[in-house]
């Protein structure tokens, strides 16, 4: 263990001589202590270099201080490769450029931190791709993929990393740079090291011949077989020796990659997919060997447990059902996704027919869903890629654990191997879910184990029995995910004493002082050493009384049936909050930039601190007393959660459902209790309470509205309150939604029983629309009335009802509960009578379906939640009913046609609840309308976030990622945005007025 003084010296010297960011505080180091494995080790320090020169400095200083070095990409390794007491260097933020592409030679040169998906996006214009299509393509970096010798779903066609890397320029342990490529042209240190390893290969040739697994998917140890290829697929097409292949799979333990030269492949022009449904798992496994003979580019397995789990997830259900022969029949025990790809579509369709015939010959006529449409195939592949994550969504301390996850066996033994291993699991009181690469005999399986109890013990026993099976079937123990900690000790078992010795000699030749990622591949620790575990037996959570109700997470599960115990019975001292936080398994899926929302702050900053994973890790460390200050309400946690805009993107898109928006509310409730509220906090939180007072005072309103007109006033409010002078503030109105005489008529004598029989709807006027944009409430009421509804707007004698959103966002949960209770008391009268409640502001109305259910508000909350809808959801729902067309009012529900372009920006909470499509659907009621979604993440305003002076810039950066440019590109379009803050952001960023969908409908009413 390094002394703190050494850590600081290291950081100081690197900072002084480079532009790298250095982190030495415990929370930053804690965020780099884990990867997607079960392990955790706090690093000495973390370095985020801006360029190659920074890395040179970091390596030099670390060497002088004898501090180990651990290169890191996305940190998605499953075996603990990126955990270690070292200087962790994160390439993924800056060190990620595409340096060169040669479309003719089909070569690309990249920096190690480049993410695979980003590379492929840039290669598409050349009709090329880098075909090692790992499931983590959106997060995995090329350096990390090479470090682990990663393999994709299509390895049967393209091979593993080692088959696709043509050269590596790397820093050696002595700080020198060396070029590793074809041995025949190697020079200097690369040649010297290559020749040394060649001698070893000669010396141990008979051992290699005897012990080396002869399968495509062998990624363990160093690639000593490059001189006498043992792989099913030759490493090079012309049998030449390439020394870069020695470094592939070295897990950061031999050299530090500076740039990688990659062989590219032509993008397949066409693909077809046959999804074979099996009523028996054994039959699926037995069929793989026959299907492989048809020459597919992939055969991927998904088993019943995963299909069922996926069907429970709203994001995946519809897609999974496209793969089923009959979605109303019992779920198949397994499906195989069989892909054919190539240049000629007709030939691929013919292959699909061959598959149908083959299955019929194997006794399974009518078992294949034929997919020729590209989008359907793509959707299904996305779900398959999310397979592991779907499985990890199991609540409770028993989790599917990765340690024999990717043993590879020859195809003819697959059925026997899987059933024997299933028996092993049963013997140890657990079971596993099977999925992935049936084409190459590498099936992923994770038995469910509780690492806080007997998990480590069972892990070893199962590993031993699995190893015997692998040996029996002449397979490879590590067939995809590398060695790291969980498989390091099995290298000797797999290759024998002599080859293990040779690996030590290779390590010694490259890295005599053992500074590069020590303990990986050579001299590994035991896989079950307690002190290396993230959840070791002494892991302890401090008691916590939570503000929200987290009991749904406070459960345990049965590893055999996966049934969970009743809410609140999981023995979490933090009332379920710790278990909710621990749902994050560090897979890194939140480090993404593709469609969807998660995680906007990471998309802008690329900081581990500002991604959902970093936040969940910080909370976990705080709750388990592993941070300085040792408690939840600490500054370290505040910093990590500061840029979380509460968009709920993670609630929907995190495969294990980590709901950071709610976690932030929980955190704020503790933090604000301890540290108090600022004046700005109060002004925002209590706005609904004082808004009514202001709205009745026109002179005060005139005065307040001056703030937007005079820059010096804006500056003054910035100085006094911390509200950015660059922002316009919402304009106070003298007429509010509750003043409109139109809606007051007759409601005082309202008798619910009488009205329940009629078409009635409650239009919940939220504070923002009600006071600042009452036109929107009018518009909604007009449209609802045109649709034949009698509209009632809830109001009180004094002030108005409020959902409590501003209080929740400020962490004032107790006060929010009072508001919520009052609102529920009122709304439940209508809900009980079967009357629906409609809201315009997504964050307000959807909190009735979300946060309210975690505030201990009982059955009233459940009832109201069932009857709460966004405006457009309600219209779409009602319009689908037969009676709708029969209403006497329906002739009023007619719209003028339009030919104007309409662009829709979905509010993040609409996206989180999958209620964006009703906006599009409702707009399509207007004749001629062809509304299009803007592919955007969060607008960045997020309630008060974007108004806060310290967040204004980053808020705008979030909007600039795609939302604002898309709007600027369509100068004549009607922009639809249902969120108040989204409309303000669009106005501030483009000077365009976005409209609530209700307003657009009203404008087009005949």
Ligand X SMILES: Cc1cc2nc3c(=O)[nH]c(=O)nc-3n(C[C@H](O)[C@H](O)[C@H](O)COP(=O)(O)OP(=O)(O)OC[C@H]3O[C@@H](n4cnc5c(N)ncnc54)[C@H](O)[C@@H]3O)c2cc1C
| Least gap, CB of 399 to ligand SF4 (angstroms) | 12
In this structure, what token pair is assigned to residue 785?
């009335």
Can you tell me which of 272, 656, 809, 843 binds ligand SF4, judged by CB under 6 A?
656
d(CA 826, CA 659): 29
Q: Of the two residues 656 and 695, which places its CB atom closer to ligand X in the complex?
A: 656
Can you tell me which of 430, 439, 546, 587 binds ligand X, judged by CB under 6 A?
587
d(CA 862, CA 850): 10
Draw the binding track, 935-974, toward ligand X (x: CB under 6 A; -: no contact).
Answer: ----------------------------------------
| Least gap, CB of 470 to ligand X (angstroms) | 18
* Residue range at the interface with ligand SF4 (CB under 6 A); choices 57-65, 495-503, 609-617, 923-931: 609-617
Q: Of the two residues 152 and 559, which places its CB atom closer to ligand X in the complex?
A: 152
Q: What is the CA radius of gyration of the chain?
A: 30
Residues 177, 168 contacting (CB under 8 angstroms): no
Residue 257 interaction partner, one of ligand X, ligand SF4, none, beta carbon < 5-8 Å per kind: ligand X
Write out the binding residues for ligand SF4, residues 232-271 only, by CB under 6 A. none
Give the distance from CA 999 to its chain's centroid: 34
| Least gap, CB of 531 to ligand SF4 (angstroms) | 23
Residue 74 interaction partner, one of ligand SF4, ligand X, none, beta carbon < 5-8 Å per kind: ligand X
- Three-state SS annotation for 841-890: CHHHHHHHCCHHHHCCCHHHHHHHHHCEEEHHHHHHHHHCCHHHHHCCCH
| Least gap, CB of 665 to ligand SF4 (angstroms) | 10
- Three-state SS annotation for 583-651: CCCCCCCCCCCCCCCCCHHHHHHCCHHHCHHHHHHHHHHHHCCCCCCCCCCCHHHHHHHCCCCCCCHHH
Residues 707, 683 contacting (CB under 8 angstroms): no
Draw the binding track, 657-696, toward ligand SF4 (x: CB under 6 A; -: no contact).
Answer: -x-xx-----------------------------------
Can you tell me which of 221, 484, 588, 770 binds ligand SF4, judged by CB under 6 A?
588
Residue 135 interaction partner, one of ligand X, ligand SF4, none, beta carbon < 5-8 Å per kind: ligand X
Can you tell me which of 252, 842, 906, 940 binds ligand X, judged by CB under 6 A?
252
| Least gap, CB of 566 to ligand SF4 (angstroms) | 25
In this structure, what token pair is assigned to residue 543?
């008691």
Site membership for ligand X, residue 112 (CB under 6 A): yes
What's the sign of the alpha-carbon dihedral 469, 472, 476, 479?
negative
Draw the binding track, 508-547, toward ligand X (x: CB under 6 A; -: no contact).
Answer: ---------x------------------------------
Residue 447 interaction partner, one of ligand X, ligand SF4, none, beta carbon < 5-8 Å per kind: none
Site membership for ligand X, residue 73 (CB under 6 A): yes
Site membership for ligand X, residue 388 (CB under 6 A): yes
DSSP β-ladder status, 177-180 and 98-102? unpaired
Residues 561, 547 contacting (CB under 8 angstroms): no
Site membership for ligand SF4, residue 585 (CB under 6 A): yes
Can you tell me which of 21, 34, 141, 870 binds ligand X, judged by CB under 6 A?
141
Residue 251 interaction partner, one of ligand X, ligand SF4, none, beta carbon < 5-8 Å per kind: ligand X
Write out the binding residues for ligand X, residues 29-58 only, by CB under 6 A. 35-36
DSSP H helix total and E strand total for the chain: 46, 25
Residue 145 interaction partner, one of ligand X, ligand SF4, none, beta carbon < 5-8 Å per kind: ligand X
| Least gap, CB of 548 to ligand X (angstroms) | 28
Q: Of the two residues 135 and 585, which places its CB atom closer to ligand SF4 in the complex?
A: 585
d(CA 32, CA 46): 8
* Residue range at the interface with ligand SF4 (CB under 6 A); choices 118-126, 501-509, 599-607, 840-848: 599-607
Q: Which stretches of 473-519 are DSSP H helices? A: 490-495, 497-510
DSSP β-ladder status, 21-23 and 45-48? antiparallel
Residues 791, 784 contacting (CB under 8 angstroms): yes
Site membership for ligand X, residue 256 (CB under 6 A): yes
Q: For 4-141, list the strands marked E by DSSP.
A: 21-23, 45-48, 69-72, 87-90, 98-102, 107-110, 128-129
Q: Of the two residues 36 and 621, which places its CB atom closer to ligand X in the complex?
A: 36
Degrees to nearest 5, angle at CA 923 with 918 and 928: 140
Can you tell me which of 137, 621, 647, 824 binds ligand SF4, judged by CB under 6 A?
647
3-state SS, residue 548 = coil
Q: Of the two residues 660 and 816, which places its CB atom closer to ligand SF4 in the complex?
A: 660
Residue/partner pairs of 861-865 with CB below 8 Å, 24 or more apart? 861/820, 861/824, 863/828, 863/831, 863/832, 864/824, 864/827, 864/828, 864/831, 864/837
Closest CA to 649 of 605, 611, 606: 611
Q: Which stretches of 248-373 are DSSP H helices? A: 281-292, 304-312, 317-321, 345-361
Residue 334 interaction partner, one of ligand X, ligand SF4, none, beta carbon < 5-8 Å per kind: none
Residue 304 interaction partner, one of ligand SF4, ligand X, none, beta carbon < 5-8 Å per kind: none
Closest CA to 484 of 998, 143, 35: 35
Site membership for ligand X, residue 221 (CB under 6 A): no
Can you tell me which of 30, 43, 68, 74 binds ligand X, judged by CB under 6 A?
74
3-state SS, residue 980 = helix
How many residues lie near ligand SF4 (CB under 6 A)?
27
d(CA 2, CA 20): 21
Residue 208 interaction partner, one of ligand X, ligand SF4, none, beta carbon < 5-8 Å per kind: none
Helices 414-427 and 455-472 cross at an angle (nearest 10°) of 150
Site membership for ligand SF4, residue 463 (CB under 6 A): no
Residue 661 interaction partner, one of ligand X, ligand SF4, none, beta carbon < 5-8 Å per kind: ligand SF4
Closest CA to 616 of 650, 581, 642, 644: 581
Site residues for ligand SF4 per CB under 6 A? 584-590, 598-601, 612-613, 615-616, 644-650, 654, 656, 658, 660-661
Site residues for ligand X per CB under 6 A? 35-36, 70-78, 81-82, 91, 112, 134-136, 140-141, 143-145, 147-148, 150-152, 251-252, 256-257, 388-389, 480-481, 517, 587
């Amino acid at each position: 263990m390094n002394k703190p003084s050494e850590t600081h010296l290291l950081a100081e010297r690197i900072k002084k001589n480079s532009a790298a960011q250095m982190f030495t505080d415990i929370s930053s180091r804690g965020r780099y202590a884990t990867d997607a494995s079960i392990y955790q080790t706090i690093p000495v320090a973390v370095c985020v270099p801006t360029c190659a020169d920074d890395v040179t400095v970091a390596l030099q200083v670390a060497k002088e201080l004898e501090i180990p070095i651990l290169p890191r990409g996305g940190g998605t390794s499953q075996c603990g490769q990126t955990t270690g007491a070292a200087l962790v260097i994160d390439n993924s933020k800056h060190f990620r450029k595409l340096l060169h592409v040669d479309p003719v030679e089909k070569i690309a040169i990249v920096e190690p931190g480049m993410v695979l998906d980003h590379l492929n996006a840039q290669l598409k214009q050349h009709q090329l791709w880098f075909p090692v299509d790992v499931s983590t393509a959106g997060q995995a970096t090329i350096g990390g993929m090479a470090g682990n010798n990663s393999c994709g779903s299509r390895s049967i066609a393209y091979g593993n990393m080692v088959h696709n890397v043509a050269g590596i320029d790397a820093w050696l342990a002595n700080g020198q740079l060396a070029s590793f490529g074809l041995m025949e042209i190697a020079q200097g240190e690369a040649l010297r090291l290559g020749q040394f390893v060649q001698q070893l290969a000669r010396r141990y040739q008979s051992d290699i011949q005897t012990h080396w697994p002869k399968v495509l998917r062998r990624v363990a140890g160093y690639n000593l077989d490059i001189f006498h290829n043992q792989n099913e697929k030759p490493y090079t097409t012309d049998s030449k020796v390439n020394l870069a292949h020695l470094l592939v799979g070295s897990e950061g333990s031999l050299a530090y990659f500076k740039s990688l030269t990659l062989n590219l492949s032509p993008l397949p022009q066409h693909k077809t997919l046959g999804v074979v449904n099996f009523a028996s798992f054994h039959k699926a496994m037995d069929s793989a060997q026959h299907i492989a003979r048809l020459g597919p580019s992939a055969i991927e397995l998904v088993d019943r447990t995963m299909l069922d789990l996926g069907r429970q997830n709203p994001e995946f259900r519809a897609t999974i059902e496209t793969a089923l022969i009959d979605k109303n029949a019992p779920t198949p025990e397994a499906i195989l996704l069989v892909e054919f790809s190539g240049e000629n579509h007709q030939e691929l369709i013919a292959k699909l027919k061959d598959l149908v015939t083959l299955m019929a010959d194997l006794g399974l006529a009518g078992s294949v869903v034929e997919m020729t449409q590209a989008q359907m195939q793509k959707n299904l592949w996305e779900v398959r890629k999310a397979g592991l994550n779907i499985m990890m969504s199991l609540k409770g301390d028993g989790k599917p654990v990765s340690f024999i996850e990717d043993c590879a066996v020859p195809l003819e033994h697959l059925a026997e191997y899987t059933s024997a291993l299933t028996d092993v699991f049963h013997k140890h009181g657990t079971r596993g879910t099977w999925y992935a690469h049936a084409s190459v005999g590498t099936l992923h399986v994770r038995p469910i184990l509780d690492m806080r109890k007997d998990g480590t013990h069972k892990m070893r026993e199962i590993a031993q029995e699995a190893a015997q099976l692998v040996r029996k079937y002449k397979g490879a123990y590590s067939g995809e995910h590398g060695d790291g900690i969980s498989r390091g000790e099995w290298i000797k078992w797999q290759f024998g004493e002599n080859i293990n010795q040779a690996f030590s000699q290779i390590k010694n030749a490259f890295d005599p002082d053992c500074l590069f990622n020590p303990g990986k591949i050579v001299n590994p620790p035991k896989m079950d050493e307690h002190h290396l575990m993230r959840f070791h037996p002494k892991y302890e959570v401090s008691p916590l009384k939570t503000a929200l109700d987290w009991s749904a997470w406070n459960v345990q599960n049965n590893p055999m049936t996966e049934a969970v115990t009743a809410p609140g019975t999981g023995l979490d001292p933090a009332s379920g909050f710790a278990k909710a936080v621990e749902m994050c398994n560090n897979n890194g899926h939140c480090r993404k930039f593709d469609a969807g929302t998660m995680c906007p702050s990471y998309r802008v900053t690329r900081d581990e601190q500002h991604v959902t994973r970093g936040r969940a890790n910080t909370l976990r460390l705080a709750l388990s007393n592993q941070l300085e200050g040792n408690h939840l309400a600490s500054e370290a946690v505040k910093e990590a959660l500061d840029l979380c805009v509460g968009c709920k993107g993670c609630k929907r898109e995190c495969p294990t459902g980590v709901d950071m928006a709610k976690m932030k509310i929980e955190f704020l409730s503790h933090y604000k209790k301890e540290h108090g509220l600022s004046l700005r906090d109060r002004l925002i939180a209590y706005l609904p309470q004082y808004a009514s007072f202001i709205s009745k005072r026109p002179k005060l309103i005139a005065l307040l509205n001056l703030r937007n007109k005079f820059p010096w006033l804006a500056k003054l409010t910035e100085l006094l309150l911390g509200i950015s002078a660059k922002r316009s503030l919402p304009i106070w109105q003298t007429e509010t939604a509750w003043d409109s005489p139109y809606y007051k008529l007759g409601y005082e004598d309202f008798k619910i029983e009488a009205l329940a029989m009629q078409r009635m709807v409650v239009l919940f006027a939220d504070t923002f629309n009600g006071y600042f944009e009452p036109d929107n409430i009018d518009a909604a009421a007009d449209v609802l009335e045109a649709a034949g509804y009698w509209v009632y707007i809830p109001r009180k004698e004094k002030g108005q009802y409020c959902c409590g959103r501003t209080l929740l966002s400020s962490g004032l949960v107790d006060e929010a509960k009072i508001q919520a209770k009052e609102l529920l008391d009122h709304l439940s009268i209508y809900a009980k009578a079967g009357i629906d409640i409609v809201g315009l502001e997504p964050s307000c109305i959807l909190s009735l379906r979300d946060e309210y259910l975690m505030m201990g508000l009982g059955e009233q909350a459940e009832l109201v939640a069932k009857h709460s809808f966004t405006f457009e959801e309600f219209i779409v729902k009602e319009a689908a009913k037969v009676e709708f067309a029969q209403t006497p009012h329906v002739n009023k529900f007619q719209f003028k046609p339009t030919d104007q372009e309409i662009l829709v920006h979905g509010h993040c909470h609409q996206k989180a609840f999958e209620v964006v499509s009703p906006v599009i659907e409702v707009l399509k009621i207007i004749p001629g309308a062809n509304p299009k979604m803007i592919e955007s993440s969060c607008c960045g305003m997020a309630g008060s976030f974007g108004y806060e002076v310290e967040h204004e810039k980053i808020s705008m950066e979030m909007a600039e990622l795609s939302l604002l440019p898309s709007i600027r590109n369509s100068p004549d379009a009607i922009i639809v945005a249902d969120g108040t803050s989204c409309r303000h952001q669009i106005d501030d960023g483009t000077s365009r007025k976005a409209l609530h969908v209700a307003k657009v409908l009203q404008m087009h009413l005949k």
